[in-house]
Amino acid sequence: MNNRRLTILQVLPKLGMGGAERVAVEGAEAVHLSGHRALIAAGAGPLAALATRAGAELVRVPLDTKNPLGIWGNIRRLEEVIEENEVDLIHAHSRAPAWSAYYAAQRRKIPFVTTYHGVYGEENGIKRRYNRVMAQGDRVIAVSNYVAELIQQRYGVGAERVRAVHGGVDVGIFDPATVLGDRSVRLARAWRADAGQPTIMLPGRLTSWKGQKLFVEALARMQNKDALGILVGSDQGRAAYTKSLVTLAEKLGVGARLRIAGHVDDVPAAMMLADVVVNCSTKPEAFGRTIVEAQAMGRVVVAADHGGARETVLDGQSGFLIPPGNAAALAAVLDAILDMPTETRIEFGRQARAHIARNFSLPVMQTRLLNVYAELLG
């Protein structure tokens, strides 16, 4: 960016384990490695240590409030952070902190950037107005072209202000060559996955729109009756939903072939166990990080043909796209993949990994982010 050492402030509710928080940490790393100063203002969270290792300086601000008085009070708090640290640009990743950051940036006359991470619901006028701040940046970053078009349609934002910066995956961490030792073996034992048993995995938090019920239905429809289905991800306290998945699997006769693994820390090792990784969300994903990670791991992927997946999966080359919400189509393509010769599946995986390294790696994402900052800062 600029020859002068700049200070970039990112704001979040807290440093939790979500995709937006990871993007913020990766952005801070990019700023730090380019010789500038990276600040993150947020509440405490499990990613705080990772952010510090990435080169970020953490500023504790209670930005996890949605109370209007709290949001108003945070304007002044952020103004103080901007003044004390000579902040050159402020970047918001979430709606409540964005409202505080928007007014603080205006008062201090510095550029304001937002990243639109999700497909926010707009059930009523109040919700729409609350969401609108994410489209009021001097630059509005969308995590996919799908989201970029949505922003322009919803809010009438000109294309000159919107930039698509897809998420990036660390292809050093998500690399099948680095998953050595017993990392996958331990998981296989815990999940009672027999060696050589065809394995299909759906990673993602357990919630209805992620398509776990569709996945169970497809498992029951498959011709391959040996295939094991594994759901990886936390139910975040939705015990009733988890129970409904078990009940459905038993009803359809696939209870013995379904594993509900819960949260997994070692995602690369988990994906190494899979012959196929699935994303069958019933609503469009803004980006779909897990399907990108799976391709980086050289897995054959299947994704619903909508949202960000259309941009990250090369249909017929790095994976397959299927009609959304169609259990029969999902079952058919899963059977076809498992019937492929091993060499063909390996070639799919090789092409998938090369595609991700070329277009969706972490350095590619970080460079594009820095370019957005440079547009505003010179």
Q: What global pTM score does this model have? A: 0.92
Query: What confidence tens digit (pLDDT) does each residue in 80-120 have?
Result: 999 999 999 999 999 999 999 999 999 999 999 999 998 88
Cβ-based neighbour number of residue 271 at 10 Å:
26
CA 77/CA 70 separation, integer angstroms? 10
Q: What's the pLDDT score for residue 3?
A: 73
CA 310/CA 315 separation, integer angstroms? 8
For the chain, the maximum distance between any two Cα atoms, rounded to a whole number of angstroms, is 65
Please give the full DSSP string across 93-137, using - where no structure is assigned: -SHHHHHHHHHHHHHHT--EEEEE-S-----SHHHHHHHHGGG-S
Percent of the chain with pLDDT over 90: 90
The SS3 assignment for 201 reads strand
CA 154/CA 142 separation, integer angstroms? 13
176-359 is classed in which CATH architecture?
Answer: 3-Layer(aba) Sandwich (3.40)
Q: For helices 95-108 and 68-85, give the axis angle rounded to 10 degrees.
A: 50
Query: What confidence tens digit (pLDDT) does each residue in 160-214 have?
Result: 999 999 999 999 999 999 998 789 989 999 999 888 899 999 999 999 999 999 9
Mean pLDDT of the residues in the chain? 95
Instruction: Using alpha carbons, select from 165, 160, 162 the residue that is nearest to residue 151.
Output: 162
- Asked if residue 315 lies in contact with residue 363, where contact means CB atoms within 8 angstroms, the answer is no
Q: What's the pLDDT score for residue 1?
A: 59
Residue 308: Cβ-neighbour burial (10 angstroms; 0-12, 13-18, 19+): buried
CA 158/CA 310 separation, integer angstroms? 23
Query: What confidence tens digit (pLDDT) does each residue in 303-340 have?
Result: 999 999 999 999 999 999 999 999 999 999 999 999 99
CATH 3.40.50.2000 in the chain is located at 7-168+361-377, 176-359
- Convert 347-361 to b/e letters by CB count within 10 Å (16 or more is b): ebbebbbbbbbeebb
CATH assignment of 7-168+361-377, given 3.30.1280.10, 3.40.50.2000, 1.10.8.60, 3.30.460.80? 3.40.50.2000
- Take residue 376 and report the two structure tokens written for it: 């505003």
Query: What confidence tens digit (pLDDT) does each residue in 117-138 have?
Result: 988 887 788 888 999 999 999 9
Please give the full DSSP string across 222-268, using - where no structure is assigned: -S-TTPEEEEES--TT-HHHHHHHHHHHHHTT-GGGEEEEE--S-HH
Instruction: Using alpha carbons, select from 87, 10, 17 the residue that is nearest to residue 48.
Output: 17
Strand extents, DSSP E, the chain? 7-14, 37-43, 56-60, 89-92, 112-116, 139-142, 162-164, 199-203, 228-232, 258-262, 276-279, 300-304, 319-322
Q: What's the pLDDT score for residue 2?
A: 61
